[in-house]
A and B are shown apart, each in its own frame.
Chain A
Amino acid sequence: MDWEAIFNNAAVELISPTTAAYALAALGLAVHFGYTGLLNFGQAGFMALGAYGYAISILTFGFPVWGAFLVGVGASVVFALILGIPTLRLRADYLAIVTIAAAEIVRLLFTTNTFASVTGSANGLSGYKNGFAALNPLAEGSYGFGPFENNAYDTWLRIVAWSIVILAALFVWQVMRSPWGRVIKGIREDEDAVRALGKNVYAYKMQSLILGGVFGTIAGMIFALPRAVVPSNYQTTLTFFIYAILLLGGAATVLGPIIGSMIFWVLLSFFSGFVSRAVEAGWLPFMTTIQGGQLRFILVGVAIMLIVIFRPQGVFGNKKELAFVR
């Protein structure tokens, strides 16, 4: 068994753009769920809007990179308003139902053949990376070391992706320790109490929904840059993986979503490499290669369960919070 290759491939995921994308999307959910108590089950929808907004703006309308970026962000602000205006005055569970449905509607609109000329239907879109690659200031060549060695484009993508994640994390860290964050956390605890103190709870919830949604959208763009945009990537399972990352890292924390995403992807890659090699080596004679591909998710699930059982507040969560039954 080639342990070195297994560990190498796992280490690659530590700083891969996909890990950054999941971290950013999870940070958005931390704003929604961890800090504000909003049950957004449609983060995949926000990500899809980012990916498609970026790709369509470039491919169909010939926008520059920054224009495509703004289109994606604008689309997610509109999406957040559509979701929030009718539901944020109602009980928390209504937002959950509406977001899960709306995210599916978004995915199906991108899948349907009706708009195939723009969306590429089930085949999705590709060929939108030139603009981003043209911005690359790095000369051709190879950068980094060991498992983190990449060509100029991949290095550039990693630098941009992780810079955005760090900026977003600093943003969340700062606003959550400000009076604004205090109102947001108060809403999570009891919105009527906050209302009774003269705060416009509805407006704060809307700001939170938009902020976390925009993070999800930018994550969708980062997610799209190393691959093609395919609608089947944006299913509800994507939202649940991001929730798993969030709970793994700690829901109301800034570092939790980032480290959670790293743990998730490193584990996934490790188990994937291990299982496929174990099947090849005949260690698991009852299993086909395809079944092995499924097994990795089971193993990741078990690993996450163990972490959550022994550290229920998440890696960075505050243990004291769990002492109080709500």
Chain B
Amino acid sequence: MSANAGLDPVAPLEPPVPTQKPIKTTGLHVGDAEPGCRKVDPILVVDKVRRSFGGLTAVDVDHLEVPRGAITALIGPNGAGKTTLFNLLTGFDKPNDGKWMFDGRSLAGMPAYRVARMGQIRTFQLTKALGLLSVMDNMLLGAKGQTGENMFRALLPFLWRTQEEANRAKALDLLTRFKLDTKKDDYAASLSGGQRKLLEMARALMSDPTLVMLDEPMAGVNPALTQSLLDHILNLKSQGMTVLFVEHDMHMVRHIADWVIVMAEGKVVAEGDPHEVMKNPAVIDAYLGQHHDEDIGQDPGAETEHVSAIKELLDDER
């Protein structure tokens, strides 16, 4: 990777920071920053959505609003229900009950492909690159409203050739921005794990979505690429898109998110500005478990883990 060539290998690795100083969007909420608080201009409004797997209630969100035109981070410990909530909101899973509105239209019961067509595009935590399609074909699949995707019109290339060329140019532009343009003719299966994350995100952008939902977009991406990925996410905001992303790395959340939603055991336990929300006792509870006073110290391994988790949470404003 040429981007890494200048790095001194013995220098301590700084946490990746976007090259541009992010401009935070503020004044997103109405009233106190409490779980389920109202937003000035919500793009997504979730009401009483519940999903249980047998006896386990994976998601039980009473009320949640995602602000438009901002970057919102969804955080929470493993198993908090973040991915399940993503699946419910995008039509990949059906809730036991509840309803939710995207851009003023109810999405409950709508199949996943129609949710996507409305402009709410998601990526997956476990990357879904289409392995035996070329990187370019992966990108082209993302484009909306293609004439040639009808079987009979497919037989008449002159009907869709112009559109295809336009999509190809757009795809190449996106691939260049994500540094994948040299790979465009390779099978997606030949990409590395991090490159697949990039491809999946670039592919999602082919449809010019209004809301982009990214499930752990930085997991497994190397620090140099993370920087550019953070820049991409910030760019999405400046282009007027709304971003909702799941992330475990608090440094990144703090640097790019305008708003943070914290989930634990299926519920939204805290919301707020990224700098304030970390100080919320409910967040510390969420990460350490409700009974941390009782069992801390009994298991020395767990203790160091807890201590480092607290450190990371409270290690604000570096």
Q: What residues of chain A have their CB less than 8 Å away from a CB belonging to chain B?
A: 171, 174-175, 178-183, 185-186, 188-190, 192-201, 207, 211, 320-321, 323-324, 326
A194 in complex: contacting residue of B124, B141, B151, CB < 8 Å: B141
Using known A-B contacts A179-B154, A180-B154, determine if residue A198 contacts B132 with beta carbons closer than 8 Å: no
- 8 nearest CB pairs, A to B: A178-B154, A179-B148, A198-B116, A193-B128, A180-B154, A189-B130, A324-B189, A198-B117
Task: Tally chain B residues at the interface, Cβ within 8 Å.
Answer: 43
Interfacial chain B residues near A197, Cβ < 8 Å: 116, 121, 141-142, 203-204, 206-207
Interfacial chain A residues near B149, Cβ < 8 Å: 179-180, 182-183, 199
Interfacial chain A residues near B157, Cβ < 8 Å: 174, 178
Interfacial chain B residues near A186, Cβ < 8 Å: 130, 133, 137, 141
Interfacial chain B residues near A201, Cβ < 8 Å: 113
Interfacial chain A residues near B129, Cβ < 8 Å: 190, 193
Q: Are A174 and B187 in contact (CB under 8 A)?
A: no
Q: Quick check: is B131 within 8 A (CB to CB) of the other chain?
A: yes
Q: Quick check: is B178 within 8 A (CB to CB) of the other chain?
A: no
Q: Quick check: is B221 within 8 A (CB to CB) of the other chain?
A: no
How far, in angstroms, from A211 to B154 measured CA to CA in the complex? 14
In the complex, per-residue mask of B159-185: 1 if CB is within 8 Å of any chain A CB, else 0:
010001000000000000000000000
Interfacial chain B residues near A198, Cβ < 8 Å: 113-114, 116-117, 121, 144, 207
Interfacial chain B residues near A207, Cβ < 8 Å: 151
Q: Quick check: is B56 within 8 A (CB to CB) of the other chain?
A: no
Using known A-B contacts A179-B148, A182-B141, determine if residue A195 contacts B132 with beta carbons closer than 8 Å: no
Q: Quick check: is B140 within 8 A (CB to CB) of the other chain?
A: yes
User: What would 20 A/B residue contacts be, using CB atoms closer than 8 Å?
Assistant: A175-B151, A175-B155, A178-B154, A178-B155, A179-B148, A179-B154, A180-B153, A181-B154, A182-B133, A182-B141, A183-B141, A189-B131, A190-B130, A192-B128, A196-B92, A197-B121, A197-B204, A197-B206, A198-B144, A200-B113
Interfacial chain A residues near B146, Cβ < 8 Å: 179
A-B contact count (CB 8 A): 110
Chain A nearest CB, measured from B14 CB (Å): 34
* B127 and chain A: residue at smallest CB distance: A193
Q: Quick check: is B20 within 8 A (CB to CB) of the other chain?
A: no
* B112 and chain A: residue at smallest CB distance: A195
Interfacial chain A residues near B84, Cβ < 8 Å: none
Interfacial chain B residues near A321, Cβ < 8 Å: 132, 187
Chain A nearest CB, measured from B54 CB (Å): 20
Given contacts A195-B111, A197-B121, A197-B204, 15 further A-B contacts (CB under 8 A): A175-B154, A179-B148, A179-B154, A179-B160, A182-B141, A182-B149, A185-B132, A189-B130, A189-B131, A195-B116, A198-B117, A198-B121, A199-B141, A200-B113, A321-B132
Q: Are B133 and A189 in contact (CB under 8 A)?
A: yes
Chain A nearest CB, measured from B7 CB (Å): 31
Interfacial chain B residues near A175, Cβ < 8 Å: 151, 154-155
Q: Quick check: is B238 within 8 A (CB to CB) of the other chain?
A: no
Interfacial chain A residues near B121, Cβ < 8 Å: 196-198
How far, in angstroms, from A278 to B148 measured CA to CA in the complex? 56
Q: Are A199 and B133 in contact (CB under 8 A)?
A: no
Q: Are A324 and B190 in contact (CB under 8 A)?
A: yes
Interfacial chain B residues near A185, Cβ < 8 Å: 130, 132-133, 137
Q: Are B112 and A178 in contact (CB under 8 A)?
A: no
**A-contacting residues, B50-95, CB 8 Å:** 90, 92
Using known A-B contacts A182-B140, A198-B117, determine if residue A174 contacts B131 with beta carbons closer than 8 Å: no
Interfacial chain B residues near A194, Cβ < 8 Å: 130, 141
Q: Are B132 and A192 in contact (CB under 8 A)?
A: no
